[in-house]
Amino acid sequence: MAELSKEAQAVLDAANGASSHGPDDCLNECRWIAAAALRSAADQVAPETPHSEPDDPEMLKGIWDERRTIRAELLAIAAELEGSDA
């Protein structure tokens, strides 16, 4: 398996530490549980928002851009844990 980023590895290590199965145990679903938790966090903390309209105040554009960035970062870690590109 490919080496994980430090962010994804930290999440996986924490999940494995809370599991009764070893990291290499075939019953260990920590990777997918952690990815699901990150996807849920992304939806709660930074819900997908529409792109700003040209007449929106600049402050809202900045907030929406920041939310999209946070969401993308959380979803990237989740995808990495799942071994997918989604």
- Percent residues over pLDDT 90 in the chain: 3
Tell whether 63 is covered by a domain: yes
**Would you say the pTM of this structure is higher than 0.75?**
no
pLDDT value, residue 86: 41
Tell whether 46 is covered by a domain: yes
What total of structural domains would you count in the chain?
1
pLDDT value, residue 85: 44
Domain hosting residue 59, numbered range: 6-17+28-82
Tracing tokens 């999209």 back to the chain, one arrives at 68
**Exposure string for 10-23, b = 16+ CB within 10 A, e = fewer:** ebbeebbeebeeee
The yes-or-no verdict on residue 49 having pLDDT over 50 is yes
Alpha carbons 48 and 55: distance in angstroms, whole number: 20
Alpha carbons 67 and 64: distance in angstroms, whole number: 5
pLDDT tens-place string over residues 50-84? 666 666 676 677 788 888 898 899 999 888 888 85
* Average pLDDT score over the chain: 77
Query: Tokens representing 32?
Result: 């997918």
